[in-house]
Amino acid sequence: MPVLDEQGRVEAVAGTARDITERKANEERVRRSANYDSLTGLPNLSLFRDRLDHEIKHALRTGLPLALLFIDLDGFKAVNDELGHAAGDELLRQAAHRINGCVRDTDTVARIGGDEFTVILTDVTREAHIDVIARELLDALGAPFPLGPQNATISASIGISLSPQDSIVPDMLVRNADLAMYVAMYVAKHAGRNAYRYFTVQMHPASPTP
């Protein structure tokens, strides 16, 4: 508000201010807890679903497919049981960092629960690019993890589904990638560690006969 002198002229302005720094910080903490995994800092299941829905629509507009990679860490439970939860948490943090290092900044890496991660690869121009990324992920996750005085070695199984080819429905695309991941896990157990597989319609359970 203006402050007037004896002649009625404005000689100063007075006002009040409120420091909202703490409130903004609290709002940011709430936003992050709602959208990001507290352990790894990656997008959580909620934010992953939002981004997948957005990227499917983007793929339909541009005509450039996306690839959804569903990653399971084989052997994580054994590490968690043998070395303890602190070591297991550290392995997950390192795994998140390694996965992020294999993809572009425009792609999305998320932890959707436990030892399961997803990657959304956008604007895929060549399927060979997906193969390269999948192999890089398997190599990165197959390298030893330093956990204090010990090293732990795990492997990974990756299932891949494509949009719009396999589905334009987010939940179905996730289900297809999940099915492909289980096939990759079966292959890995019977033909050596580390495997990735693309979804095919033959992976769906047969419908019951009426």
Q: Residues 19-28: pLDDT tens digits?
A: 666 655 455 4
89 is catalytic: no
Q: What is the predicted pLDDT for the residue at 28?
A: 47
What's the pLDDT band for 208 if we cut at 50, 70, 90?
very low
The pairing of strands 108-113 and 66-74 is unpaired
* 23-36: average pLDDT: 62
Q: Residues 90-149: pLDDT tens digits?
A: 999 999 999 999 999 999 999 999 999 999 999 999 989 999 999 999 999 999 999 989
Rounded-to-integer distance, Cα 160 and Cα 33, Å: 28
Rounded to a whole number of angstroms, the CA Rg of the chain reads 24
Contacts of 137 by beta carbon, 8 Å cutoff, 6+ apart: 69, 71, 98, 99, 102, 119, 156, 158, 196
Q: Which is the catalytic residue, given 37, 107, 115, 166?
A: 115
Task: Specify the pTM.
Answer: 0.82
- What torsion do the CA atoms of 47, 98, 127, 185 make, to the nearest 10 degrees? -90
Q: Where are the beta strands (DSSP E) in 24-80?
A: 66-74
Which spans in 63-202 are helix H? 76-83, 85-101, 127-142, 170-191
One-letter amino acid identity for 206? Answer: A
Q: What is the predicted pLDDT for the residue at 24?
A: 59
Q: What is the predicted pLDDT for the residue at 23?
A: 57
More confident residue, 157 or 21: 157
